[in-house]
């Protein structure tokens, strides 16, 4: 079959890699893709938000399955448009992608269906938000309602900061229209765990757990980024936590979406915080995590196409989802200065080493070809993933592999997976 993957980051590279392992697949396209993805897929110069062009391309090229990797096209309704043209697509329809697309929606859903999450209030007018803050407890968390490239969350320690935050989100519209509405929620503390799952509308199968490192600098300092590294599994995701989430979070979310007439098919990514009162949902995403996919997919034993088709067909209950009994660590190589200002177009060397070593992966996030040379083309450039028998070995292997790659303004965190030592 012919598969089209929509997206251009490290996540889509990991998806393309998994799809390339399937016996069912003859040809992979990726729109728009990147230099690394072109090893497995023919990259097509259509951006993820050019819905008409993506639909036309899929029809003309008789694409059998489209896998949408990114949040914006899902929230914008790409799956609905593909389906209307008779193309099979993997990912939630627009009315279900709202689970990620509106934080106010997801908070109300959790409240209505008793799914554990931080206490909150929704606001669509800044005056009411400012009034509310006058009697609130600090620190407090402000969240732009809509998609904001992972940046629309402000943790405010004082009333002054929070007032400034309301201005940033709702008046200055620093995150654009995603700040038309806002959630103000209780600040929680605890370890964060990412649990990704396949969902077919009624059945949910969770994948192995992972943890992301969102801050730019060592010791979780610096600005929030798209993610500087991940490890999988999380040693903090114990059997007890899993049992709790099976009982109160996972199936409850899928059932809630069905009950609302918003049947969810695709990936639900549960961002959990393990608080002293038990696990609570920080956020939902409607897609694979980036860079969580880069540590989860290389450990998956199943043929990804079989699982994806089962989600679309509503037969996920027949799939025995299995992961390798090992670990993986992904260290992101970024351009120095990310997430603020950085140079692009810098030549990268060292890719050939990855061909010589099994269990090592170089997932491209921001790269492109300049003639025959691969050059940097973004803040996050590469995700270096390595497996190991356990987390410690995987981390040692991943950091060793970061040495294989050279580019002039290479930057990485040196403490990805350090929490493993505390487990
Ligand atoms: P979100 O996009 O909602 O996951 O938020 C981004 C990050 O902000 C999370 O990964 C947490 O580290 C932090 N965060 C979000 N909500 C809260 C909260 N209620 N309490 C503490 N930290 C939070
Ligand atoms: N790594 C977090 C995310 O993909 O949203």
Which tens digit of pLDDT belongs to each residue from 307-360?
A: 999 999 999 999 999 999 999 999 999 999 999 999 999 999 999 999 999 999
User: What's the mean pLDDT in 394-412?
Assistant: 98
CA 283 to centroid of ligand 1, rounded, Å: 8
pLDDT at 224 over 90: no
Q: How far apart are CA 318 and CA 358, in angstroms?
A: 31
53 Cβ contact list (under 8 Å, min separation 6): 46
Taking the CA of 295 as reference, the closest ligand is 2
- Closest ligand relative to 150 C-alpha: 1
Q: Residues 373, 337: one domain?
A: yes
Establish whether residue 290 lines the binding site of ligand 2, counting it when its CB lies within 6 angstroms of any ligand atom. Answer: yes
Spacing of C-alpha 219 from chain mean position: 22
Whether pLDDT at 394 is above 80: yes
Q: What is the Cα–Cα distance from 301 to 167, expressed in whole angstroms? A: 48
CB-based pocket (< 6 A), ligand 1: 118, 141, 143, 150, 153, 155, 185-188, 192, 214, 271, 282-283
Helices 103-112, 94-101: axis angle to 10 degrees equals 90
Looking at residue 314, its pLDDT comes to: 98
Q: Are 221 and 307 within one domain?
A: yes
The answer on 226 and 131 residing in a single domain is no
Q: How far is the CA of 155 from the centre of ligand 1 (A)?
A: 8
Residue 286 DSSP SS3: coil
Do 209 and 302 belong to one domain? yes
396 and 332 in a single domain? The answer is yes
Calculate the CA 417 to chain-centre distance: 18
Answer yes or no: is 116 within a domain.
no
Which CATH number is 221's domain given? Answer: 3.30.470.20
Q: What is the average per-residue pLDDT within 133-149?
A: 95
Measured distance CA(353)–CA(351) in Å, rounded: 6
Domain region containing 143: 125-180
- Domain of 345, CATH number, reads 3.90.600.10
pLDDT attached to residue 389: 97
Closest CA to 348 of 366, 331, 361, 330: 366
Q: Are residues 144 and 74 located together in one domain of the fold?
A: no
146 touches 133 (CB < 8 A): no
Ligand 2 contact via 71 beta carbon (within 6 Å): no
Residue 243 and residue 262 in one domain? yes
109 in a domain, yes or no?
A: no
Give yes or no: residues 283 and 385 share one domain.
no
**Both 415 and 357 in a single domain?**
yes
Per the domain annotation, does 100 fall within a domain? no
C-alpha dist (Å) from residue 46 to 15, 29, 118, 242, 288: 18, 11, 39, 40, 21
The pLDDT score that the predictor gives to residue 244 is 98
Q: Which residues pair with 211 in a beta bridge?
A: 231
Tens of pLDDT, residues 171-206: 999 999 999 999 999 999 999 999 999 999 999 999
Half-sphere CA count of 5, side-chain side, radius 13 A: 33
Domain-located, residue 117: no
Averaged confidence pLDDT in the chain: 97
Question: CA–CA separation, 384 vs 375, rounded Å?
Answer: 16
Whole-structure pTM value: 0.97
Identify the residue whose C-alpha is closest to ligand 2 atom 3.
289
Report CA 174 to chain centroid distance, whole Å.
22
On whether residue 105 sits in a domain, the answer given is no
Q: Does 207 share its domain with 293?
A: yes
Residue whose CA lies nearest to ligand 2 atom number 2? 289
Domain edge (last residue) among 318, 338, 362: 318
- Assigned domain for 30 exists: yes
Q: How confident is the model at residue 422 (pLDDT cuts 50, 70, 90)?
A: confident
Q: Whose CA is nearest to atom 1 of ligand 1?
A: 283
Say whether both 203 and 168 belong to one domain: no
Chain centroid, CA 358 distance in Å: 25
User: Is the pLDDT confidence value at 404 over 80?
Assistant: yes
Q: Is the backbone of residue 278 left (phi > 0), alpha (psi -120 to 50) or beta?
A: left
% the chain with pLDDT above 70: 100
Give the number of domains in the chain. 4
**Banded pLDDT at 289 (limits 50, 70, 90):** very high
Residues near 44 by Cβ (< 8 Å), separated by ≥ 6?
Answer: 4, 29, 30, 31, 32, 33, 57
Mutate to test the pocket of ligand 1, among 152, 283, 292, 419 (most ligand atoms within 8 A of CB): 283
Residue 201: both structure tokens together: 């509308």
Tell me which ligand sits closest to the C-alpha of residue 227: 2
Give Cα 250 distance to the centre of its chain. 17
Does 284 share its domain with 312? yes
Alpha-carbon distance of 378 to 342, in angstroms, equals 8
For 233-258, the DSSP string reads S-TTS-HHHHHHHIIIIIHHHHHHHH
Nearest CA to ligand 2 atom 5: 289
Q: What is the pLDDT of residues 39-60, one digit of tens each?
A: 999 999 999 999 999 999 999 9
* Residue 102 domain-assigned (yes or no): no
- How do 65-68 and 42-43 pair as beta strands? unpaired
């Amino acid at each position: 079959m012919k598969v089209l993957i929509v997206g251009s980051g490290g996540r889509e590279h990991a998806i393309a890699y998994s799809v390339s392992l399937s016996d069912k697949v003859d040809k992979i396209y990726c729109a728009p893709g990147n230099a690394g993805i072109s090893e497995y897929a023919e990259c097509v110069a259509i951006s993820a938000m050019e819905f008409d062009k993506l639909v036309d391309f899929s029809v003309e090229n008789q694409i059998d399955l489209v896998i949408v990797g990114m949040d914006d096209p899902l929230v914008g309704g790409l799956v609905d448009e593909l389906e209307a043209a008779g193309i099979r697509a993997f990912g939630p329809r627009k009315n279900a992608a709202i689970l990620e697309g509106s934080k106010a929606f997801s908070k109300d859903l959790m409240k209505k269906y008793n799914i554990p999450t931080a206490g909150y209030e929704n606001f669509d007018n800044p005056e009411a938000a400012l009034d509310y803050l006058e009697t609130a407890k600090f620190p407090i968390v402000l969240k732009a309602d809509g998609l904001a490239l992972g940046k629309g969350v402000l943790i405010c320690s004082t009333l002054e900061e929070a007032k400034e935050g309301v201005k940033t989100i709702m008046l200055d519209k620093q995150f654009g229209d995603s700040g038309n509405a806002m959630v103000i929620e209780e600040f929680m503390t605890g370890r964060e765990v990412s649990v990704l799952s396949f969902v077919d509308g009624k059945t949910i199968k969770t994948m192995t757990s992972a943890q992301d490192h969102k801050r730019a600098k060592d010791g979780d300092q610096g600005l929030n980024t798209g993610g500087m590294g991940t490890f999988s599994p999380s040693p903090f995701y114990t059997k007890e936590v899993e049992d709790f989430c099976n009982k109160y979070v996972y199936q409850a979310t899928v059932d809630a979406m069905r009950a609302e007439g918003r049947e969810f098919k695709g990936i639900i990514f549960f961002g959990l915080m393990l608080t002293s009162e038990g696990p609570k949902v920080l956020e939902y995403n409607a897609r694979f995590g980036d860079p969580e996919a880069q540590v989860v997919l290389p450990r998956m034993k199943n043929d990804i196409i079989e699982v994806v088709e089962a989600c679309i067909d509503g037969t996920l209950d027949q799939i025995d989802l299995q992961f390798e009994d090992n670990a993986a660590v992904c260290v992101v190589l970024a351009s120095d200065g990310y997430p603020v200002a950085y140079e692009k177009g810098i030549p990268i060397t060292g890719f050939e080493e990855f061909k010589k070593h099994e269990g090592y992966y170089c997932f491209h996030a921001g790269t492109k070809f300049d003639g025959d040379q691969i050059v940097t083309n973004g803040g996050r450039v590469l995700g270096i993933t390595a497996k190991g028998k356990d987390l410690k070995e995987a981390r040692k292997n991943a950091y060793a592999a970061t040495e294989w790659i050279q580019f002039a303004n290479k930057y990485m965190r040196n403490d990805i997976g350090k929490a493993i030592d505390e487990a």
